[in-house]
Structure 1
Amino acid sequence: MKKIISITLAVLFAALLWYFFLKPQDYRVSFEAKAIPGTIYETVKAWNQSFDSILPITYDSQEHFTQMVMANDSVHTYEWSILPVNDSVSKVVVNIKDADHSFHNKLQVPFSDTDFEKGSRKRLLDFNDMLLNHLESFKVKVEGQSELFSSYCACVTLKTTPEKKAKGMMAYYNFLNTILMENQVELNGPPFVEVLDWDLKNNSLSFNFCNPIIRSEKLPNHPDIVYKRIFPKKALKAIYNGNYITSDRAWYTLMDHATRQGIAVDPKPVEVFFNNPNMGGNELKWRTEVYLPLKDSDE
């Protein structure tokens, strides 16, 4: 009997030690979302901007990252894990910890619905509302394997964050068009973006913003304009409808599709824009063709 009591007390002591000092979170919230991990990750980034004191997100992958949230006078750690259920649904698990009050939270959580729990649930309900609204603002349709177009083009090279890609495009749209028109350069199709580097960990993006043109002897020599040719290449293709600010949702969709199908791709999307945002209108009718190049078999 003494041995049983000793073992029971040892197990109980170990459990309490784990719960109060080793358990990584004070509270856990989980829910399902009709979105792929990349879309959820980008929405968390946008949501993070809504807090008064903005602290950076620590990125491990689009399925796992850590966010620091200001909650009154405390900083809470939100550790996000996003587990794909199928091609359109993900399970979201958020482990929440208040390092300054962790012992107190763990002591109270099992016995009462604390302000810490209520505040955590309220914030994540607000996030879920934001995610649902965002999902209604765009559409992505994967069309499958296609071929990247061929064109000679005039480009400006930009480096920014993915969120500011559209702002950078708009800043140079009139600049590029004006110089080409003044030099009587003939356009040969809608403008497009060619991604050069997409760095998720550092949240940076470098890309060429280009106008297809007819090559001629009248091409202006300008320090900010480069001329190049886009060559045909096999690619996965999707149609994106929505604001160009969030067109990278199609990038994530194509990456997710490629992973599920076991297709090797080069994460450097090309986007072709068929609407001028300056003209306004229903953003869900704006059309963008998005290409994700396939890797060559020898790469």
Structure 2
Amino acid sequence: MLRRILLSGSLVLLTALLWYLFIKSEDYLATLKVKATPGTINQTIKLWESTLENSDVIDQNKVDVFEHQITFSDSVYNYKWAIEKIDDSLSLVQVHIKDIDNSIKNRLFMPFSNTDFEKRSKETVFKFHKKLQEHLDNFKVTVMGIDSITDTFCAYIPIKSTQLEKASKMMQNYPILDGFVSNSRIQTNGQPFIEVIEWNREKDSITYNFCYPIKKIDSLPIHKTIRYKERKGGKAFKAIYNGNYITSDRAWYSLLNEAEKRNIKVTGKPVEIFFTNPNMGSNELEWIANIYMPLLN
């Protein structure tokens, strides 16, 4: 009987050891709880990763997973970020980290010493967490409720980009649109805005129109890039965003999250109306944009 117990125990220990050394997907697991939506965290990871000189993206086509590799002087670490919504205001982030070339060595030594791999992994996750908290402190989203968007005639430029590129693409096209409207002596009729035509959250791509509201006249000048249209208004779920317009899409996720909570059916194609000129150099938390998520008919 004792021999059978010892044999069973040995098999369990051997199985656990084999799993730990050869099957376990990561060498180190870090866990964070963050007061933010998964979409906001996902976009912040991508923004942070883009600032790293020694990082290469492996997988970025999911809202709840982002994977990249960081090359250090002596090794390459694989980081897989898994994001899970806990409730309306809290998300769980698990960072699965693996040393590509020294995995077994790290697993053997980590239980008995604080290895360089473990120190470096903790430091990297800590740096990201600090950046994330700084980012969350630098914008504010206030969900207002159901409102209306008015019909608007506008001159616009169609653009396709990632969410991270949204603001930079707007800045590239702003001189074209603004100069054309000014030089053509077209009368403006409201604040600049964008309307999202397609938002693929899995592939992180958006197609949108960057629009200038104008007074409609019988004869409008022709331009090779700029087009004209009447944008129909209607009921929409509204939020007010304060912060840099680079990250105004954080309000999109807040509206989707709140709409789901309230069982409000929305299109998932937001409209952003901008009330602050970024060139004026004011405090970014004083920048204002109205963000609308149109309701499904």
Both structures adopt the same fold (TM-score exceeding 0.5): yes
Q: Which amino acid aligns with 2:133?
A: L
Give 2:120's aligned residue: 119
CA RMSD after TM alignment: 1.7
Q: Which amino acid aligns with 1:113?
A: N
Q: Which amino acid aligns with 2:296?
A: K
Displacement of 1:286: 0.9
Indicate conservation of the 8 Å contact 2:30/2:95, yes or no: yes
Does residue 22 (structure 1) correspond to residue 3 (structure 2)? The answer is no
* Structure 1 residues 252 and 132: CA distance shift in structure 2, 3 A: same
Give 2:8's aligned residue: 7
Give 2:252's aligned residue: 251
Give 1:162's aligned residue: 163
The superposition leaves residues 49-83 of structure 1 with CA deviations (integer Å, 9 ceiling, x where unpaired) of 23223312513532223222223332212121223
Indicate conservation of the 8 Å contact 1:183/1:218, yes or no: no
* Structure 1 residues 39 and 24: CA distance shift in structure 2, 3 A: same
Q: Distance in 2 between matches of 1:261 and 1:78?
A: 35
Q: Distance in 1 between matches of 2:252 and 2:91?
A: 17
Mapping 1:1-299, distance limit 5 Å:
1-59=2-60, 61-296=62-297
Q: Which moved more, 1:73-82 or 1:223-232?
A: 73-82
Q: Which moved more, 1:106-115 or 1:260-269?
A: 260-269
Indicate conservation of the 8 Å contact 1:52/1:70, yes or no: no
Q: Which amino acid aligns with 1:33?
A: V
* Structure 1 residues 192 and 57: CA distance shift in structure 2, 3 A: farther
* Structure 1 residues 2 and 82: CA distance shift in structure 2, 3 A: same
Displacement of 1:206: 1.9
Indicate conservation of the 8 Å contact 1:180/1:219, yes or no: no
What is the DSSP-based 3-state SS (H/G/I as helix, E as strand, rest coil) of the residue aligned with 2:57?
A: coil
What is the DSSP-based 3-state SS (H/G/I as helix, E as strand, rest coil) of the residue aligned with 1:100?
A: coil
Indicate conservation of the 8 Å contact 1:267/1:293, yes or no: yes
What is the DSSP-based 3-state SS (H/G/I as helix, E as strand, rest coil) of the residue aligned with 1:40?
A: helix
Indicate conservation of the 8 Å contact 2:54/2:72, yes or no: no
Q: Which moved more, 1:131-140 or 1:33-42?
A: 33-42
The superposition leaves residues 216-237 of structure 1 with CA deviations (integer Å, 9 ceiling, x where unpaired) of 0231111211111111222211
Q: What is the aligned residue count?
A: 296
Q: TM-score scaled to structure 1, two decimals? A: 0.93
Indicate conservation of the 8 Å contact 2:63/2:202, yes or no: no
* Structure 1 residues 136 and 57: CA distance shift in structure 2, 3 A: farther
Displacement of 1:131: 0.9
Q: Please, which runs of 5 or more residues in structure 1 have no aligned partner?
A: none
Q: TM-score scaled to structure 2, two decimals? A: 0.93
Q: Please, which runs of 5 or more residues in structure 2 have no aligned partner?
A: none
Q: Which amino acid aligns with 1:112?
A: S
Q: Distance in 2 between matches of 1:56 and 1:266?
A: 30
Q: Distance in 1 between matches of 2:123 and 2:285?
A: 30
* Structure 1 residues 35 and 54: CA distance shift in structure 2, 3 A: same
The superposition leaves residues 69-124 of structure 1 with CA deviations (integer Å, 9 ceiling, x where unpaired) of 22333221212122323322222211111121111111111111111111111111
Displacement of 1:290: 0.5
What is the DSSP-based 3-state SS (H/G/I as helix, E as strand, rest coil) of the residue aligned with 2:66?
A: strand
Q: Which moved more, 1:170-179 or 1:9-18?
A: 170-179
Indicate conservation of the 8 Å contact 1:241/1:287, yes or no: yes
Q: Distance in 2 between matches of 1:280 and 1:50?
A: 23
The superposition leaves residues 191-238 of structure 1 with CA deviations (integer Å, 9 ceiling, x where unpaired) of 000112223343332211001111102311112111111112222111
